[in-house]
Amino acid sequence: MTELLDPESNIIEAPFGDALADRYLVYALSTITARSLPDVRDGLKPVHRRLLWAMRLLKLDPGQGYKKCARVVGDVIGKYHPHGDVAVYDAMVRLAQDFSLRYPLVDGQGNFGNIDGDNAAAYRYTEARLTQVALDLMAGLDEDATDFRPTYNGEDEEPEVMPGLFPNLLANGASGIAVGMATSIPPHNAAELIDAAVLLIDQPAAELDQLLEHVKGPDFPTGALIVDSPASIREAYATGRGSFRVRARFAGHEDPATGKWVVEPEKLSGGTWQLVITEIPYGVQKGKLIEQIAQLIADKKLPILEDVRDESDEAIRIVIVPKSRNVEPEVLVESLYRLTELETRFSLNLNVLDAERTPRVMSLKDVLTQWLTHQIGVLLRRSRHRLAKIDDRLELLGGYLIAYLNLDRVIEIIRTEDEPKAVMMEEFQLTDRQAEAILNMRLRSLRRLEEMEIRKERDDLAKEREGLVALIDSPARQRTRLKRDLAVLRERYGFETVLGARRTRIEEASATREIPLEAMIEKEPITVVVSAKGWARAMKGHLDLSDPEAFKFKEGDGPAFAFHAQTTDKILIAADNGRFYTVGADKLPGGRGFGEPLRLLVDIEGDATIATVLPARPEMRVLLASSDGRGFIAVNEELLAETRKGRQVVTFKKGARLHSIRPIAATDDHLALIGENRKLLIVPVGEIPVMARGQGVALQKYRDGGLSDVLPFRFADGLSWTMGGKEGRTRTETDLANWLGSRAQVGRLPPMGFPRNNRFD
């Protein structure tokens, strides 16, 4: 007695690490097998199985009335599943949501949540009953089709697995996170699964490609589009691991030529239009999705999007309003796919418990094969159970017929003997059950008609027994019977039914492409004006650049640069320190007022001045010349800057600055250079190197001063310059042989009449 009361007598000495590992392993295995992973045979986790079993015992069949969910949850946690009521109710709610399960197992009445992400009402307010799908999944529980085990407290029993023929694992899918492993199985179409199962019954060695002729891919309850390639889908099903790219479906139509879904904008008055989303990816909450799109508008991350509205009732209708009717619908759709959860990836991880309760990652064929093996076992158990019932009934029927054949003697024995049961058993060779049944017969059963019915029942049962014996002894008959049962199920969930019709379209699409920023901007003509003091503005339309009255400036300021552009253009700003800056034309202030200083848009250094402002063009080449006569050609891509601090393109020798930035047209083949010393030199463009950054090469040499001006031109057209005066006449010199030379030469005095300011314009 003293030893029992001594607490130290129960202490086991062991290394702490070993003790912790042993206990954690027990916890991990419990999480894997009894909580997180579904069984390959019925696709259920224990909590779901116990919910359905408890509802069945409460007789909540589809034809019966509803009962409070609180009653169901109470039975489940009290008898079968000793966990929290919230977890059990959440599991029950999911089984009732038609946007969560492809084939709901619970028929809910009341608020069971919605696709917006709103939670279900408390279980005291909601009611539920089973669906026909749940009955199909549990068919055979009364026919010894599966083993039962004691509940956690030993007071009741619960089924180890549901025996029904409905392919729940793949039809409804599953997800769960265990210790060190997880599972993620998307829903599929039951009719397709049944067709693939029938193929496997006929051809057990069928290849995966043959199965995929029936199982096209996941079939989500929310519809949408799967846009992966057939090779990607095949790889996922072959290995049991992969993912599916799921896109929302916009209102549209199927292209009869390609069979692909074509987005069709909804036409409005005045030539405007809008897009309508009718289906969203599985697992995406509609409310959060709309918030996400609205946030894009608020953050101005999608300038071509004006508004988003939720006009949904029972059907989803999300309206997408573009900024203007000039926006390309394809660009807007692609942008939404890239920036929001209108395109997601649903992972496939076919990690399930096999028939031995061992976690395994299976291929599609493995899952269907193990499920069919389970169904053959269920068929045999139900057949043997029925055979035992028939033998039991035939025994009683045999006793009844003996009683009818010796009716007078049986009545005499019952009336005269003190122990009629023993006398009848000895005289007519009856079993105990037969004698007991005869004694319990009612007087009305002694009529002649009853004897005829018993004989007919005996003959029918004998024939059924013969068929069952043949079925149990013949694998071929078992396969035929299973195919017949599957055909009946196929009619209930066929494509022509409301519940069985495929909802998710599968069509290959290219990866979501990166949309250029300019494609997200409404393209409109503008006139960019920059003043001498660096104030910039973008005026709507292409204005007359020669009209001085079209532009107004602050007192003491005046024009410096003006050119036509589009709102989708990039504007290059070159400072005389050799740094280039980039501003989107749509970011320039509007034409009202005098604009804003460019230094507010980019970080131009304080001692630098703006050398030029011009629109960037994709194939543009620009001559960059410094004040000391050095330079090189740069292409457009090397001038664009990604940050406010700009990009250093030109470097200089001491005292030099960036002097001239001249775009070179495709037809320009020569450069005309004029120095402050009034020496003119013409050199071929081909002698000037194309560089990304640096000082460049010597363009022209000077004894005194530096570069005054440079002009790219076409040699065959001659060299032109402005004569000045009110008429603004120009002069063209075509005989330029005297000034033609190589780069780095000095040159000669220009032709007579060349402007005294040494400028070509």
How many other CB atoms are there within 10 angstroms of residue 643's CB atom? 10
For residue 605, what are the CA distances in angstroms to 38, 578, 599, 615, 627?
65, 11, 9, 21, 19
How far apart CA 303 and CA 265 sit, in angstroms, is 19
b/e burial code for range 370-401 (CB count within 10 A of at least 16 → b): bbbebbbbbbebbbbbbbeebeeeeebbebbe
CA-based angle 603:607:613, to the nearest 5?
A: 55
CA-based angle 614:665:640, to the nearest 5?
A: 40
How many other CB atoms are there within 10 angstroms of residue 314's CB atom? 4
Q: Length of the chain in residues, anyone?
A: 761
How far apart CA 492 and CA 495 sit, in angstroms, is 9
How far apart CA 623 and CA 641 sit, in angstroms, is 18
Q: Which of 24, 27, 125, 152 is an active site residue?
A: 125
Residues near 178 by beta carbon (within 8 Å), at least 6 away in sequence: 28, 31, 32, 35, 36, 37, 359
Give residue for tokens 């003959």: 459
Paired strand residues for 632: 624
Paired strand residues for 319: 276, 309
Contact 174, 45 (CB under 8 A): yes
What are the structure tokens assigned to 727, written together?
Answer: 């008429």
How far apart CA 66 and CA 507 sit, in angstroms, is 41
With 0-12 CB in 10 A as exposed, 13-18 as middle and 19+ as buried, what is 181? middle
DSSP 194-262: HHHHHHHHH-TT--HHHHHTT--S---TT--EE---HHHHHHHHHHSEEEEEEE-EESEEE-TTT--EE
Residue 125: active-site member: yes
Q: Which long-range contacts (CB under 8 A, 24 or more apart) does 284-291 make?
A: 284/222, 284/341, 284/344, 285/115, 285/116, 285/117, 286/115, 286/116, 286/117, 286/310, 286/312, 286/316, 286/318, 287/116, 287/117, 287/118, 288/117, 288/341, 289/318, 289/340, 289/341, 289/342, 290/318
Q: Which residues are catalytic?
A: 125
